[in-house]
């Protein structure tokens, strides 16, 4: 079996992965693997922008307070202050990559505002900020000397305990699958950094790309890493509702620039739920839209920004305007139909701001990590900020004094046993659909103990069926994603069952009030017998 050696093995090509690799490239050999193309990631779909205090009238303390309020006070205040205060360094890293953020006529930053923010502090590059950042980072990393391995799927992490090695259980790298050749080989590294994004595809309706299957979270949990707060899945309140519109978001910046949420008659309704109206945090807005849809029986609610006029909308939101127009919706003349959709994983692998997890040799950065910045609900545009800051801090920890192997561990060849090529792919697609539908029906925006129990029961059965399929047939990318998706679904349900209160994104009819005691929902990593 082929073995590739490197000093740092980065998994994922979003902002967290690319920035980690770029920072680490000056310290040693970096190998970066991503299961599709570099640009196939959540970062590439980010519209609104990146949080960073830039206005003299604003402050890090104000930003931190807004973050804590949005997260229902479940965030760690020290972590929140640390990440908010390091944001300007992350913005400087992007500017160095060639990202051009929007500026006003006088040369000052053109800052916008989104729900939950008390000030304008969102830097943006039009309404395709993520796409422009991703493109700039890809251009830079292709010139950096990093060993880039696209269309490479991580099967499982290689752990010392599973190899029978003495001492503490640590990560030694990973087995990977080349999508094109079908070859399975190992990447051996004393420093593995997971930057694989979230698990939005665990739900039937999501604005995430198809690759958001929670791979890093599942890999880390199977390796024994602690996972926490998975019950806090953020539903973006304003996904475009149209039969031909797949995964298209109407950015929160649209509300930040004056759009109001209304019903089909044009009547505003958000003030009934929160005094901040349409600029309330995402958890409140998503629940409010869901409540109005259930109350009225309507399929969607609407955004109204017609008062801004076509000239302004075409300049400020050119991509969104054109996309809506392609579906026959003129933002300057028509109401925009919207519904909530699964968007962001606020929990994940328990990690420090510099990426340290509970497993030696394994780091986690970005959406797959739970640093306790977001608490029970992510404040708009804090995600890319976290990715930038934590990638820089992780590289600062690992770079100057990296972990080294005293002697390269012997990684055994991948064993296929009696596995045969799969001949019933319909089983994979059926189980995939069943997981996503039961999560939407039973573990969605509003939950109950009974719904969670039903989901837990069915997921136990499905995971047994998936395990049987996994060992019976040769691994494929679809099988690996299904396996990881099922793990994430089960972790979400288990965390939700542990939380006997309603807080932030976790709302249950059985415990509608917020508990006085603030606690995290931590799950131990998997321990194989």
**Which residue's structure tokens are 């999560």?**
439
276 is catalytic: no
Residue 75: Cβ-neighbour burial (10 angstroms; 0-12, 13-18, 19+): buried
CA dist 440 and 457 (Å) reads: 15
Q: Which residue of the set 282, 316, 436, 503 is catalytic?
A: 282
Going by C-alpha positions, the residue among 228, 168, 160, 239 that lies closest to residue 203 is 239
Per residue in 378-406, is it b (16+ CB within 10 Å) or e — as a string?
bbbbbbbbbbbbbbbbbbebbbeeebeee
Going 290 to 296 to 302 to 304, the CA torsion angle's sign is negative
Going 66 to 72 to 78 to 82, the CA torsion angle's sign is negative
Triad 414, 415, 418: Cα angle to 5°: 150
Going 500 to 512 to 371 to 251, the CA torsion angle's sign is positive
Distance from chain centroid for Cα 47: 14
CA distances from 169 to 31, 166, 190, 324, 474 (A): 23, 8, 12, 52, 27
Contact 39, 133 (CB under 8 A): no
Contact 257, 120 (CB under 8 A): no
Contact 303, 260 (CB under 8 A): yes
DSSP 409: -
CA dist 65 and 116 (Å) reads: 10
Q: What is the DSSP annotation of 12-55?
A: --SHHHHHHHHHHTTTS-EEEE-SS-TT-SSGGG--S-EE---S
Distance from chain centroid for Cα 402: 27
Residues known to be catalytic: 282
């Amino acid at each position: 079996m082929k073995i590739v050696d490197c000093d740092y093995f980065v998994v994922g090509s979003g902002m967290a992965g690319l920035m980690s690799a770029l920072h680490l490239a000056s310290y040693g050999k970096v190998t970066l693997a991503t299961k599709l193309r570099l640009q196939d990631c959540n970062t590439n779909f980010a519209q609104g922008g990146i949080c960073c205090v830039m206005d003299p009238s604003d402050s890090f303390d104000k930003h931190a307070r807004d973050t804590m309020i949005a997260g229902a006070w479940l965030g760690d205040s020290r972590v929140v202050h640390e990440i908010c205060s390091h944001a300007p360094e992350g913005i400087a890293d992007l500017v160095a990559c060639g990202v051009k953020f929007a500026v006003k006529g006088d040369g000052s930053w053109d800052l916008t505002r989104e729900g939950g923010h008390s000030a304008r502090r969102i830097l943006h590059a039009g309404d395709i900020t993520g796409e422009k950042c991703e493109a700039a980072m890809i251009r830079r990393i292709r010139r950096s000397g990093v060993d880039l391995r696209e269309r490479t799927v991580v099967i499982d992490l290689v752990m010392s305990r599973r190899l029978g090695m003495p001492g503490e259980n640590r990560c030694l790298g990973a087995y990977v699958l080349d999508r094109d050749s079908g070859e399975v080989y190992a990447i051996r590294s004393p420093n593995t950094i997971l930057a694989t994004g979230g698990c939005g595809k665990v739900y039937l309706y999501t604005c995430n790309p198809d690759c958001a299957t929670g791979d890093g979270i599942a890999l880390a949990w199977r390796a024994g890493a602690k996972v926490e707060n998975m019950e806090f899945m953020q539903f973006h309140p304003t996904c475009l509702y149209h039969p031909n519109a797949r995964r298209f978001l109407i950015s929160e910046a649209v509300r930040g620039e004056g759009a109001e949420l209304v019903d089909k008659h044009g009547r505003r309704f958000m003030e009934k739920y929160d005094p901040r109206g349409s600029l309330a945090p995402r958890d409140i807005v998503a629940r409010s839209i869901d409540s109005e849809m259930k109350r009225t029986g309507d399929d969607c609610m609407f955004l109204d920004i017609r008062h801004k006029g076509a000239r302004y909308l075409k300049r400020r939101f050119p991509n969104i305007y054109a996309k809506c127009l392609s579906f026959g919706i003129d933002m300057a003349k028509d109401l925009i139909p919207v519904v909530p959709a699964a968007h962001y994983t606020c929990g994940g692998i328990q990690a420090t701001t510099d990426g340290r997890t509970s497993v030696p040799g394994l780091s986690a950065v970005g959406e797959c990590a739970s640093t306790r910045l977001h608490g029970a609900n992510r404040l708009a545009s804090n995600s890319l900020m976290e990715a930038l800051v934590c990638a820089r801090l992780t590289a600062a920890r690992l770079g100057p004094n990296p972990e080294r192997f005293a002697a390269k561990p012997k990684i055994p060849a991948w064993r296929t046993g009696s596995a045969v090529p799969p001949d019933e792919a319909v089983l994979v697609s059926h189980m995939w659909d069943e997981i996503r539908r039961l999560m939407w029906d039973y573990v969605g925006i509003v939950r109950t103990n009974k719904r969670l129990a039903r989901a837990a029961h069915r997921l136990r059965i499905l995971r047994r069926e998936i395990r049987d399929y996994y060992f019976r047939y040769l691994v494929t990318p679809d099988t690996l994603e299904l396996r990881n998706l099922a793990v994430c679904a089960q972790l979400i349900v288990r965390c939700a069952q542990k939380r006997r209160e309603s807080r932030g994104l976790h709302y249950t009819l059985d415990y509608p009030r917020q508990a006085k005691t603030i606690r995290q929902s931590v799950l131990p990593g998997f321990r194989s017998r």
